[in-house]
Structure 1
Amino acid sequence: MNPVQPAHLARSRSHIHSGGFHVTELFFEVPENYAHPEDGTIRLFARSIKRPEKMIPGISKPEDEPRKPYLVYLEGGPGFAGPEPRGHPVTNRALDAGYTVLYVDYRGTGMSNHIHTDLVLNQGDVNLQVEYLKLFRADSIVRDLEAIRLCLTKSWELEYQKWSIFGQSFGGFVCLSYLSKYPQGLREVFMTGGLAPVKRQPTEVYSALYKKVIERNEAYYAKYPEDEENVLRIARYLTMEEDGFPLPGGGRFTIHRLLGLGMGFGCHGGLDGVHNLILKLISDLDQFNYFTTPTLMALEREVPFDTNPVYAILHESIYCSKGVASNWAALEAARKYDEFINLTKPLHLSMSLPLHGKQRLYFSGEMVYPCFFDTYPTLQPLKPAAEALAKHSGWAEDLYDEEQLRRNEVPVYAVSYIDDMYVDIEAARETAALVKGIKVHETNQLHHNAIRAKGEEVLGMLFRLRDDTLD
């Protein structure tokens, strides 16, 4: 693996936040394309958080404060920035454990030169847009992280220069790429719901995930049986307009968009959140025989494709190795299941499907379909690039090095969710068997977002894996 040069720290500003946190806002510059650093740089943003030792005025000096190694939190996605640190469960627990916590906005997200529609279109023709979007996968992200590590720790004692990383969901995928490419920079690795399907191809991934999506649909209708008819009623109403109903923020409300609400089914509170929105939609039809603006705005907030287009356009590429094109793998895999027939039809056909009797409509999960690039305004101009990217197989490198993972020497601790709707448990077990020395806690009592919903419980599991010994 080619060495990475330290990032350039362009700007740094520290503040004291409520609760005694010292938060430092950091802006770095790194190569946009590590293969061609002469092409220019992009900006990365991160926040470091520490809780300083108590200082006695006139006696203690800043240099007396002990060095605290970094723990870097890596958000899920792809396409999501680091969380606001004060409200995140990792912050207090990691500070109490003796770390300085670093929250990073991946390239293309948040304040790290975030990708937006105009930025992609300004790259030139579709081929140039694809070449640009390829720079935002995990292989570039881990180089960014390593460049930041080298920058922040270059003056530190050698034993402190390695850092710990914590990956949630896609963040765990990034952890495995980091372990594959720059293990020398890592002291330890924590992962929650992030054991990537390293050995599987995109269609295999989605074929397995649909089984869990079906289970979550059945759990939804078992909990809210009245919604079987409510969802059908909303869908029938949507068929009154061939291309759906206009939304306040642009785009169209279609059957595809309605069924896309199932993205939340795999999270704590996800079934309840979808039911609440279905109830609002039905209430509107009961009272007004149309959908009101507040209800439609609530619908728009549920699926983040407009605010986080990277999630939609690069989602399938996180499963692509060298020589592999995704070819809209989620759509292809859906064709094997009768439950998802409405999502596999083109927009104009799905809107005219007969919706009657006891037919049950199944929601999709986190899958991205070509039709979404017709119904979300931020995605619409990016459809040619998305189509080209789906056919692209010329990835410069694999995201994971299986041989390196087999000889891994970095301690790895993972919490894995048996009923995870987004990371298939059997694929996660295959990956765990691949990584030398990994310790895994499996549970069927938590969903994918447990780090947010039940953070203390999850963090307790992870630190027990680290601190408890078997022999």
Structure 2
Amino acid sequence: MPHPKQHPIPPATLLSSASHPAPGQLLITELTFRVPLDYAQPDGQHVTLFARRAQKYTRPLTKGDGDESDEENSKPYIVYLEGGPGFGNRAPQDHPLTRPALTRSYQVLMLDHRGTGMSTPVGAEMLAHKSTDEQVEYLKLMRQDNTVRDCEAVRKCLLEGHKGDEAKWSIFGQSYGGFVAMSYLSMHPEGLKEVYLTGGLAPVKRNADEVYTAVLPRVAKRSEEYYAKFPEDVKNVWDIANYIIEKKGGKVALPSGGVLTVARLLTIGIAFGGHGGFDGVHSTILQLKNSLDTFGFLARASLAPLESYTPFDTNIIYAILHEAIYCNGPGYASNWASQRIGEQHPSYPWLKETKLSPSDGPLYFSGENIFPFDFETYPELSELRAAAHKLAKFDQWEYLYDLEQLSRNEVPVYAASYVDDMYVDSDFARETARLVKGTKVFETNVMYHNALRAKADEVLQQLFNLRDDVMD
């Protein structure tokens, strides 16, 4: 059976450790590690990983009294794996998982995936000295399989000398963090005690074409629901689009240096997958329309909010490797799957080179999709356009998952799954839950993909119930 390549994983080298107390009785430790860029060449180039650890902090009553650091250090780790790909972690004191996890006697480790946050973050400038082919080779090493290897290297470093279950840790994957978790269960289950997932039951049997064929109708439905809530925005969006087309030749300069096209405007529908997404998009459209009505042009203050929806310029990996995370093994190239599948969908004529008219009906928004035009409208991405096209055509990817290993999995998996998730198809999530032995699922149709942030107490309570309760 196909399976990810196995490489020896040497312990990470701890480069630095600095601790400080934080409000809320927290002790935050900032850690940096050195690991191989390519585990097939452990003596070659290295990258730095950044993590923050959160522990309970109690000030000693009197000078000379011991603190609780030894006790805290002996508590089991839970490692939070952020979504994306391409995003670093917030500080633990600002994260909804931290305090509930500490209450349950974990110590929390928030590790930035390689290439993100402060873990040798990928950017156009740091890749500028490389040829296009060298950029491609570097970026190919930024997927979930190498994140798993990084986690194992850090685990071996932090838990050196521990034996049995004490040498294992728990992981918590949100969204793409769940993709990492599925690769972890495939590659190194011996390092895991338990797995928690929120919106992260990755479609391990599916490629990008299948994913977007399933997801795009959900995205179109969300556009219809948006216009049902804000019917005035049918005209408002068209007014903004027509201004871009007629007054500015199809392009409006953005404050950060990128350009706003009609296509880029419609990508803000990515927010529809989260709680409050409709209202956020409406507020943005209202600002743009108000600027047009007041001044006859789009003022800087009205354009700035647009740039926060898809921060690709500061999170390069999200754009350049998004479809690659669905490439499980050789013989398949993503080949701009969102673009190809979207062009076939009747709700997305704006993805084709056709003239648009309000008589055609509302302009539908896209969702969590990456398109070739992103590498023309974002200044940072434009510098990596050639590498992006090569990656889209690449069809010799390594395997990310071992389906046979997942089917005989022995690590407990506790998952929150959302029926109306716009990013992770719920049918594919159920398919994965059935495949991965030992998976318990809390499924709901009253939460969206960002429920860990928007409804943290409810989600975490349900997850911990899956762990602690029994069914008789």
Q: For this structure pair, what is the TM-score category when the shorter chain's length is used for normalisation?
A: over 0.9
Counterpart residue type for residue 273 of structure 1:
G
Distance 2:70 2:242 in 1: 69
**Is 1:207–1:333's contact at 8 Å kept on the other side of the alignment?**
yes
> How many angstroms apart in 1 are the aligned matches of 2:451 and 2:104?
20
Aligned match of 1:256 in 252, 256, 263? 263
TM-score, reference length from structure 2: 0.96
Aligned mates of 2:67, 2:385 — CA distance in 1: 58
Do the aligned residues in 1 keep the contact of 2:198 with 2:416 (CA within 8 Å)? yes
Question: Take 1:65 and 1:129, find their aligned partners in 2: how far apart are those partners?
Answer: 45
- Structure 1 residue ranges, 4+ long, deviating more than 4 angstroms after superposition: 53-56, 58-64
Give secondary structure in 2 for the equivalent of 1:306: coil
1:308-344 CA distance string (max 9 Å, x none) = 11100000000002121101111111122110110x2
1:127-177 CA-partner distances (Å, limit 9, x unpaired): 221111001000110000000000001033543210000000000010000
CA drift of 1:60 comes to: 4.5
Matched to 2:411, the amino acid is V
State the shift of 1:439 in Å.
Answer: 0.2
Matched, 1:278 2:285: yes
Which segment is superposed worse, 175-184 or 242-251? 242-251
Counterpart of 1:424 in structure 2 is 425
SS of residue matched to 1:441:
strand
Aligned equivalent of 2:339: 331
2:319 matched to 1:312? yes
Aligned residue in 2 for 1:186: 192
Partner of 1:12: 17
Residue 444 of structure 2: aligned partner: 443
- Distance of 1:31 and 1:317 partners within structure 2: 21
Give the superposition deviation at 1:3: 2.9
Counterpart of 1:92 in structure 2: which amino acid? Answer: R
Q: Secondary structure at the match of 2:363?
A: coil
Alignment partners' CA distance in 2, 1:153 and 1:53: 23
Partner of 2:3: none
Residue type of the partner of 1:191?
A: L
Q: Secondary structure at the match of 1:26?
A: strand
Offset at residue 355 of structure 1 (A): 1.9
Q: Percent identity?
A: 51
Residue correspondences, number: 463
Cα distance, 1:64 vs structure 2: 6.0
The match for 1:33 is 38
Question: Which amino acid counterpart does residue 30 of structure 1 have in structure 2?
Answer: V
CA distance in 2, matches of 1:378, 1:109: 15
2:386 match: secondary structure: helix
Relative distance call for 1:12 and 1:63 in structure 2 (3 A) is closer
Q: Distance in 2 between matches of 1:3 and 1:415?
A: 33
Q: Equivalent residues in 2 for 1:224-373 (5 A)?
A: 224-240=230-246, 241-323=248-330, 324-342=332-350, 344-345=351-352, 349=353, 353-357=355-359, 359-373=361-375
Shift, 1:358, TM fit: 6.0
Equivalent position SS for 1:338? coil
Following superposition of structure 1 onto structure 2, how do residues 44-63 of structure 1 map, counting pairs within 5 Å?
44-52=49-57, 55-57=60-62, 58=64, 60=66
Report the 3-state secondary structure (helix = DSSP H, G, I; strand = E; otherwise coil) of the residue aligned with 1:378.
Answer: helix
Shift of 1:59: 5.4
Q: Take 1:175 and 1:14, find their aligned partners in 2: how far apart are those partners?
A: 28
Query: 5+ residue gaps in structure 2?
Result: 1-5
TM-score, structure 1 length as denominator? 0.96
> 1:205 pairs with 195, 205, 211, which one?
211
8 Å CA contact 1:414, 1:439 repeated in 2: yes
Aligned to 1:84: 91
Change (3 A) 1:63 1:21: closer
Paired amino acid for 2:216:
Y
- 8 A Cα contact 2:233 2:285, kept in partner: yes
Measured in 1, the distance between the counterparts of 2:338 and 2:297 equals 32
1:137-156 equivalences in 2 (<5 Å): 137-156=143-162
Distance 1:235 1:153, change over 3 A: same
The answer to whether the Cα contact below 8 Å between 1:257 and 1:375 also exists between their aligned partners in 2 is yes
Which amino acid in 2 is paired with 1:108?
A: G
Q: 1:123–1:132: 8 Å Cα contact kept in structure 2?
A: no
Q: Does 1:133 align with 2:139?
A: yes
Partner residue, 2:100:
93
What SS is found at the alignment partner of 2:423? coil
Structure 1 residues not aligned, in runs of 5+ = none
Distance 1:2 1:404 in 2: 17
Hey, what's the Cα distance between the residues in 2 that align with 1:122 and 1:80?
24
Q: Report if aligned partners of 2:271, 2:277 keep a CA contact under 8 Å in 1.
A: yes
Task: Provide the rounded CA distance (Å) in 1 between the counterparts of 2:358 and 2:451.
Answer: 38
Single out whichever of 6-15 and 37-46 deviates more from structure 2: 37-46
Q: 1:366 & 1:42 partners in 2: Cα distance?
A: 29
The alpha-carbon distance between structure 1 residues 358 and 469, as it changes in their structure 2 partners (threshold 3 A), is same
> CA–CA distance in 1 between the matches of 2:66 and 2:336?
61
3-state secondary structure, aligned to 1:440:
strand
Superposed, 1:386-465 pairs within 5 Å as 386-395=388-397, 397-465=398-466
2 CA distance for matches of 1:423 and 1:41? 33
- Per the alignment, in what secondary structure is the counterpart of residue 47 of structure 1? strand
User: What secondary structure, in the 3-state scheme, does the structure 1 residue paired with 2:380 have?
Assistant: coil
CA distance in 1, matches of 2:283, 2:400: 39
Q: Does 1:107 align with 2:114?
A: yes
Q: Is the 8 A contact 1:53 1:65 kept in 2?
A: no
